[in-house]
Amino acid sequence: MSHKILLTSREVNIILHRLACQLLENHLDFKDTILIGLQPRGRFVAERIKQILEQQYSVQDIKLGFLDITFFRDDFRRSEKPLEANKTQIDFLVEGKKVVFIDDVLYTGRSIRAALTAIQSFGRPSQIELLVLIDRRFSRHLPIQPDYRGRQVDAINDEKVKVSWKENDGEDSVYLI
């Protein structure tokens, strides 16, 4: 299996800073904004974005939660292997707040559709935006587009995009496999 590096650790870091700046432009003090990392891999992006906003731009009191969408997916019963759910950690209401979903890769759009359904258990947001590190733009099954995107990737056929995080995989990088 061949690996082509799409983003190095330095490039990932630059992109995360750019995405944090774009969020800051649109949400300023984050008083009415909530960041929601989609489990499992959106968690890493969301934690990094929050860290950048707090440490580099002195934004305080950012609400960050993590949403598991496993059983909200329309394809969760189609797999032969048992599903492993992740933990949802949202200890605040989203009623009337601006919610920013954060994920590592936007592929078919099915995860985002599931997240739109799952978030309703925590209230009705006034607005929902989507931030992704990688947008695989030619593989969408649903009409979902990101509001904030790190990099667009045109993967074809059976090519996969693998995002690695130093907290989980020992390095920050993005590969085309």
- Rounded to whole angstroms, how far apart are CA atoms 46 and 169? 17
Q: What's the start-to-end Cα distance of the chain, in Å?
A: 7
Whole-model pTM?
Answer: 0.93
Q: What is the pLDDT at residue 83? A: 65
pLDDT digits (tens, 9 = 90+) for 95-115: 999 999 999 999 999 999 999
From its phi and psi, is residue 108 left (phi > 0), alpha (psi between -120 and 50) or beta?
A: alpha
Residue 86 has pLDDT above 90, yes or no: no
Q: Distance between alpha carbon 52 and the CA centroid of its chain, in Å?
A: 15
Higher pLDDT residue, 48 or 86? 48
| Three-state secondary structure call for residue 93 | coil
pLDDT digits (tens, 9 = 90+) for 46-55: 999 999 999 9
Of 1.10.600.10, 3.40.190.10, 3.10.20.30, 3.40.50.2020, the CATH number of 4-176 is 3.40.50.2020
